[in-house]
């Protein structure tokens, strides 16, 4: 499918036609304005001022901002495979290595967010429900999906895993661990099962007014994949207020540092589950990461959590 817009001339032709089928296949950087656009943007740049890039990450790295008219940063079109392929994984890997988290941008569209949020009421899709206050986890509720996962969730889990494995293996290497994560998720699930962890961990979280999630790590046994992904399914400021995604990092002999990751509806963030390697003066040391959600003040905040190791 990429072939249809391979080559400068075909791409420029798509821009002239404002072809929506080209959206997400490539992006147009406009030198004169410093913005990057979708091929279907109503703006009319001159050919000599435009160059093409394959991903939003490339455009951002070249110093371009997302166009306010066509909002390439809000595009979530095409198959999950195409959307994940369009993410600049080198950039994401650098972010994870440097900060312990990285925004993946918008991964799900409004319809997908709504259908996942609505699935929360269908009890047959889930293996268990956790009332957070009962366990001292915070206030709110979440549900773990049962196997087989809904196709969208299963697709996201397997494809994100494959993209994050190189980073996770890099972390193992820096920690001096000889083991490596397999590149496909099916093989990794077999490793989890052999460790007695055979129940799926993707989950939907539902927070109403006054609800929050204490800083924590999602660990379910000895087998842990060091990175996980969360996707916000509700629109901040409209469907809910408050409820910020928070990460903290604790380095040896230092006080904790907090990060607030701004997310819009459909946005995904990848972050360290627990420990991540940091280069110090005397070699690599472990920084401890925790994540949580600040208090929701109004409305309902729904999230999809994609954890890659299974639970006991
Ligand atoms: Fe969590
Ligand atoms: Zn534009």
| Whether pLDDT at 187 is above 90 | yes
Residues 62 and 182 in one domain: no
CA separation for the pair 212, 209 (Å, rounded): 9
pLDDT of 85 strictly over 90: no
Q: Considering every ligand atom, which ligand is closest to the CA of 18?
A: 2
Residue 230 has pLDDT above 50, yes or no: yes
In CATH, what number is assigned to the domain containing residue 9? 3.40.10.10
pLDDT of residue 3: 59
3 CA to centre of ligand 2 in angstroms: 23
Final residue in a domain of this structure, among 75, 91, 106: 75
Cα-to-centroid distance, 80 and ligand 2 (Å): 23
- Average pLDDT for 48-65: 92
Which ligand sits closest to the CA of 304? 1
Closest ligand relative to 73 C-alpha: 2
Which CATH number covers residue 299? Answer: 2.60.120.620
23 with 132, same domain? Answer: no
- Helix or strand (DSSP H, E) at 177: none
- Which pLDDT score, from 0 to 100, does residue 1 have? 46
**% of residues, the chain, pLDDT over 90:** 86
92 and 61 in a common domain: no
184 Cα to the center of ligand 2, angstroms: 37
Q: How far is the CA of 205 from the centre of ligand 1 (A)?
A: 9
Could you report the per-residue pLDDT of 130-183, keeping only the tens digit for each? 999 999 999 999 999 999 999 999 999 999 999 999 999 999 999 999 999 999
Asked if the model's pLDDT at residue 94 lies above 80, the reply is yes
The answer to whether position 170 is within a domain reads yes
Closest-lying ligand to the alpha carbon of 218? 1
Strand 50-53, strand 65-66: pairing: unpaired
236 and 196 in a common domain = yes
pLDDT at residue 252 greater than cutoff 70: yes
Would residue 181 count as lying in a domain? yes
The rounded mean pLDDT for the chain is 95
Tell whether the model's pLDDT for residue 208 goes beyond 60. Answer: yes
Query: 311 in a domain, yes or no?
Result: no
Domain annotation covers residue 143: yes
The number of helix segments (H) and strand segments (E) in the chain equals 8, 19
Dist CA 189 CA 309 (whole Å) = 7
Distance 195 CA to ligand 1 centre (A): 21
Condensed to tens digits (0 to 9), the pLDDT of residues 258-303 reads 999 999 999 999 999 999 999 988 899 999 999 999 999 999 999 9
Q: Which among 75, 102, 131 is the end of a domain?
A: 75
Residues 163 and 264 in one domain: yes
* Residue 18 shares a structural domain with residue 116: no
Ligand nearest to the backbone CA of 215? 1
CA of 45 to the centre of ligand 2 (A): 10
> What number of CA atoms fall less than 13 Å from residue 236's CA on the CB side?
17
The number of the ligand nearest the C-alpha atom of 219 reads 1
Boundary (domain end) residue, out of 29, 53, 75: 75
Number of domains in the chain: 2
Q: Give the confidence band of 73 by pLDDT, cuts at 50, 70, 90.
A: confident
**Residue 139 structural domain:** 83-306
pTM across the whole model? 0.89
Q: Please indicate, yes or no, whether residues 47 and 101 belong to a single structural domain of this protein.
A: no
For residue 71, report the distance from its CA to the centre of ligand 2, in Å: 6
Distance CA 142, CA 158 (A): 21
Percent of the chain with pLDDT over 70: 99
Residues 300 and 173 in one domain: yes
Q: Are residues 60 and 107 in the same domain?
A: no
Residue 57 CA to ligand 1 center (angstroms) comes to: 26
Q: Which listed ligand is nearest to 245 at the C-alpha?
A: 1
Q: How far is the CA of 36 from the centre of ligand 2 (A)?
A: 6
CA of 138, nearest ligand number: 1
Q: Do 267 and 168 have their domain in common?
A: yes
For 201, half-sphere exposure in the C-beta direction (CA atoms, 13 angstrom radius) is 25
Residue 90 phi, psi (nearest 5): -65, -45
101 shares its domain with 160: yes
**Residue 312 counted as domain residue:** no
108 and 202 fall within a common domain? yes
pLDDT in tens, 21-48: 999 889 999 999 999 999 999 998 999 9
Question: What is the 56 CA–ligand 1 centroid distance (Å)?
Answer: 27
Specify if 257 maps to a domain: yes
């Amino acid at each position: 499918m990429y072939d249809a817009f391979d080559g400068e001339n075909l791409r420029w032709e798509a821009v002239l036609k404002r072809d929506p089928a080209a959206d997400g296949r490539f992006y147009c950087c406009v030198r004169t304005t410093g913005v990057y656009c979708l091929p279907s943007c109503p703006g009319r740049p001159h050919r000599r001022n435009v160059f093409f890039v394959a991903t939003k990450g490339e455009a951002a790295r070249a110093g371009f901002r997302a166009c306010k008219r066509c909002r390439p940063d809000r595009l979530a079109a095409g198959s999950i495979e195409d959307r994940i392929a369009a993410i600049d994984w080198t950039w994401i890997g650098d972010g994870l290595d440097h900060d312990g988290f990285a925004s993946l941008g918008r991964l799900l569209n409004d319809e997908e967010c709504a259908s996942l949020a609505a699935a929360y009421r269908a009890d047959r899709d889930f293996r268990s429900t956790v009332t957070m206050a009962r366990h001292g986890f915070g206030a709110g509720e979440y549900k773990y999906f049962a196997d087989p996962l809904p196709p969208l969730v299963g697709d996201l889990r397997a494809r994100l895993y494959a993209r994050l494995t190189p980073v996770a293996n890099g972390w193992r290497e820096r920690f001096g661990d000889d083991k490596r994560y397999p590149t496909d998720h099916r093989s990794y699930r077999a490793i989890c099962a052999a460790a007695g962890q055979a129940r799926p961990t993707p989950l939907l979280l539902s927070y109403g007014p006054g609800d929050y999630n204490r800083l924590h790590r999602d660990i379910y046994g000895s087998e842990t994949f060091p990175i996980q992904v969360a996707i916000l399914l509700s629109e901040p400021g409209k469907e809910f207020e408050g409820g910020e995604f928070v990460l903290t990092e604790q380095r040896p002999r230092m006080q904790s540092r907090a990060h607030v990751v701004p997310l819009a509806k459909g946005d995904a963030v990848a972050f360290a589950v627990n420990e991540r390697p940091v280069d110090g003066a005397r070699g690599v040391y472990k920084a401890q990461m925790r994540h949580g959600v600040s208090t929701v003040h109004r409305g309902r905040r729904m999230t999809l959590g994609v954890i890659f190791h299974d639970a006991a």
